[in-house]
Structure 1
């Protein structure tokens, strides 16, 4: 992506990136960076509900993506309790 696409104040960079771009270029690299640098992970969060709305119902990988994001959300929900 272009550098300006990272300059967003919107959740999930909704105004500058497509939903899967945000996963690829923001969330996944950020999580890797936190883990590699022994930084604390974020508290409870949920990304699956956004993707349930944002991904087209006919997206060929929709079910797989949502299942994996629900697992991720569950990990953080368990960690917060």
Structure 2
């Protein structure tokens, strides 16, 4: 399986898991919130919002277009900390974020 297809598979699994756990939102944050220049938009979005509205669409677009993928990824550390404040079981979601990090590191 190509790295781009593997990435799409992981992104799809993350979306499904977020939906299953009730972490997927039906309403997008404001354009102002989405325009943050801080890493992970920590000043305007929760980590789950950042994943749904920024990270997932950006990586999906890159994968579908065959663009060069990022070679460094350490979202797991941020996810691990952010999910401590989430009231649902995030073990599977953390595992998927770790798979995502690994996928991006090994494609180079």
TM-score tier, shorter chain, comes to 0.7 to 0.9
Distance in 2 of aligned mates of 1:39 and 1:24: 20
Structure 1 position 76, deviation (Å): 1.6
SS class of match (1:53): helix
Q: In the TM superposition, what are the counterparts of 1:53-64 in structure 2 within 5 Å?
A: 53-56=81-84, 59-64=87-92
The two structures, once aligned, show a CA RMSD in angstroms of 1.5
Distance in 2 of aligned mates of 1:71 and 1:9: 26
Distance in 2 of aligned mates of 1:9 and 1:79: 27
| Count of residue correspondences | 80
Runs of 4+ off more than 4 Å: none
